[in-house]
Structure 1
């Protein structure tokens, strides 16, 4: 059975290494959100470096998730002192579980505050695509799909909740966004 890959990307207002209160708050909430997300029904896995060191994303060993990569529009730093981004790469059983995890509870509270921490870039901040069972998506694939979404719009290759697709490529809707449909997995 196919799994749903999700790549998220945001440009932070200040570097990850910044000791400012908002950066510390973002980290505190982010750690709590990750713990909650991993307990959600339908959650399968997410990319984690072998060793966690704040701001060291580009040099980290991400294992099967591949070399860390960012969209071409990211223009801030790439060192531990200058990196100003937050990115995730995860796998889900389907759209409904991902929607429920993202738009409820602690993650929803964090989303409501996203503009305290993130710049408004005019680019999409997440993208979905389907992968075959047993396939681990890579960071480079996530970036490619996000850029495709920005350039071409939603399609079975790269889509959003608002314009989503089944693994077979037919349009789907998640209850709570757009029209209701029984096609959502």
Structure 2
């Protein structure tokens, strides 16, 4: 059964190393948000450093998730002092599960603060695509799909929640695929 890959990318207003309160708030929210999402029904896994996370995003060993990559339009730093980005790469069972995880609970609260933390770039902040049941997407896949989404809009190759596609390429939407998890008793 195909699985859903999700790549997110945002350019922060300040480098991750900035001690400013807003940057700290963003950093401090990450652990609890990831922990909550990691236990969400339909979540299968995310790219995590194989070596425990010592170094910059660009230097880490991401194992089967491949070498860390960012869109070519990202023009901020790549050093510990200058990196100003947040990126995730994850796998889900389906669109409903991803939607519920993103738009409920702690992640929803963090999402409501996105304009405090992230620049408005004119580029999409997330992209979905279907992968085979044995595939692990790599970072470069996410970058390529995000670029495709920006250049061509939602297609079966790269899409968003707003205009999504089923694994066979037919248009679908979250409202067509059942109740949200908080509506299930």
TM class by smaller structure: over 0.9
TM-score (structure 1 length as normaliser): 0.93
Cα distance in 2, alignment partners of residues 91 and 118 from structure 1: 23
Q: Give, in angstroms, the shift of residue 134 of structure 1.
A: 1.2
Match in the other structure for 1:79: 79
Q: Give, in angstroms, the shift of residue 52 of structure 1.
A: 1.6
Q: Give, in angstroms, the shift of residue 99 of structure 1.
A: 0.2
CA deviation map 1:102-143 (0-9, x unaligned): 000100000000011100001000000000001000000000
Structure 1: runs of 5+ lacking an equivalent: 176-180
Secondary structure, counterpart of 1:149 in structure 2? helix
| Aligned-residue CA RMSD (Å) | 1.3
Q: After superposition, where does 1:96-111 map in structure 2 within 5 Å?
A: 96-111=96-111
Q: After superposition, where does 1:62-141 map in structure 2 within 5 Å?
A: 62-141=62-141
Instruction: List, as ranges, runs of 4+ consecutive aligned residues in structure 1 with deviation greater than 2 Å.
Output: 181-184
Cα distance in 1, alignment partners of residues 130 and 106 from structure 2: 26
Q: After superposition, where does 1:103-182 map in structure 2 within 5 Å?
A: 103-175=103-175, 181-182=176-177
TM-score (structure 2 length as normaliser): 0.93
Secondary structure, counterpart of 1:58 in structure 2? coil
Q: Give, in angstroms, the shift of residue 87 of structure 1.
A: 0.0
Cα distance in 2, alignment partners of residues 172 and 78 from structure 1: 38
Q: After superposition, where does 1:39-78 map in structure 2 within 5 Å?
A: 39-50=39-50, 51-53=52-54, 56-78=56-78
Cα distance in 2, alignment partners of residues 128 and 79 from structure 1: 28
Secondary structure, counterpart of 2:8 in structure 1? strand
Structure 2: runs of 5+ lacking an equivalent: 180-185
Q: Give, in angstroms, the shift of residue 182 of structure 1.
A: 4.5
Residues matched between the structures, number: 178
